[in-house]
Amino acid sequence: MDDMELTVNFSDEAEAEAVLVHWVYDQGAKVRMGDVVAEAMVDKVTLAIEAPADGYLIPVVAANDVFHSGQAVARISVNPPAPANSDGPNVEASPEQSAASPVFVPAPPAVRRYAQEKGVDLADVARGASGRRLTVADVDAWIRRQSLGETVPYPAFRRSLIQHLTDPAALPTTLHRRIASGPAAVAPLARIAWAVSEALPHYPRIHGWASSEGTVAAHKLVLGIASETPSGLMVPVLHAQPDINSWVLALADLRNALKTQATGTLDFSRPSFVLSNLGPWGIEYFTPRLVTPTIAILGIGAGDTAFPVSLTFDHRAVDGAEAAEFLAHVDRVLASSS
């Protein structure tokens, strides 16, 4: 029997990235098939990594390092590694993280690369962030503080408020209007997902991703669904569906996975457009936050004969008139199906 690679497939996009949070077992520990040997972070989701076979764990990706979907993060060896001290017994490690293991810093791959380019230790940045996920803005702020005198930190509430009000990477602009309610027999989110999928091919500038260098148009719909869960906000994606009934079934499967916390079955690829539904809480209009680098997110409010919607888009990529025309097209699709 040969050694087996432990690969982690969390997306159908080869360039998708994750961060290895920590190894549960020490190097060389004997593990059994199905044992959770490590945890990884994909955007805002923690994934459990299981051993694919019995054997001895040989990690090849270190804690806090970035890896891609489909990449081998470890080997499961059929032979025990040579002990560091041949005079002592080869003792199986306990299923706990070693005390010498590095402390995990909650930062996505892009922020890690940016900090490395700037020569910044993210552990230093994390000390002032109260355990929340770090952003590029946090790294820049830390660099600025080093050139100033002693700074009195903001209280926790104020830091949270600033984080929600600040988006240094984009130029978010929001439009509000009412659109037709569509077929009453279908759940609101499914109606609008279908209508959006019908309208987007006519508005390529609002469908895709934006950066400081320019835009990338999406050629197929990867629809992000902003979802509140016991673990916090998540944005799993659904790929294009052929008709409204298929959207109903796909969204039902998504809700069931979230309800049972089976997040390992969900796709967290980069969305090309995002929906956020606050209608169940009685909210009518709100200002959705961009899930950068995605160009636009459509917020859905509570309504009976018409839906109040709020479209936030990156003004670098699209102008207000075209965004308004897109909403009008979604309205026509729903009106014609009522």
Give the 3-state secondary structure of residue 67: strand
CATH for 40: 2.40.50.100
- The answer to whether 190 and 251 are in contact (CB under 8 A) is yes
In whole angstroms, give the CA distance from residue 28 to residue 31. Answer: 9
Assess whether 185 and 152 both reside in one domain: no
Assess whether 295 and 222 both reside in one domain: yes
* pLDDT reported for residue 102: 53
**309 domain-assigned:** yes
Assess whether 329 and 268 both reside in one domain: yes
Assess whether 181 and 329 both reside in one domain: yes
Residue 293: is the preceding peptide bond cis (ω within 30°)? yes
**92 domain-assigned:** no
**95 domain-assigned:** no
Q: Which amino acid does the sequence have at 248?
A: V
CATH for 176: 3.30.559.10
Domain limit, last residue, from 58, 77, 96: 77
Assess whether 152 and 239 both reside in one domain: no
Mean pLDDT, 10 residues at a time, the chain of 338 residues: 85 84 84 87 80 92 88 91 51 41 66 86 78 81 75 53 54 95 92 97 95 90 90 85 96 93 87 95 92 92 91 95 97 92
Assess whether 158 and 180 both reside in one domain: no
* pLDDT reported for residue 288: 93
Residue 124 corresponds to which tokens in the numbers above? 């230093």
Strand blocks (E) in 151-301: 172-180, 208-210, 215-217, 222-229, 232-234, 237-239, 273-277, 296-300
Domain limit, last residue, from 124, 140, 165: 165
Assess whether 136 and 49 both reside in one domain: no
- The answer to whether 211 and 171 are in contact (CB under 8 A) is no
Assess whether 309 and 209 both reside in one domain: yes
pTM above 0.85, yes or no: no
Give the number of domains in the chain: 3
Assess whether 270 and 322 both reside in one domain: yes
DSSP secondary structure of 106-163: ---HHHHHHHHHHT--HHHHHTTTTTPPP-HHHHHHHHHHHTSS--PPPPHHHHHHHH
Give the structural domain span for 19.
4-77
* Angle made by CA atoms 164, 170, 174, in degrees to the nearest 5: 70
Cα-to-chain-centroid distance, residue 133: 12
* pLDDT reported for residue 80: 85
In whole angstroms, give the CA distance from residue 110 to residue 41. Answer: 13
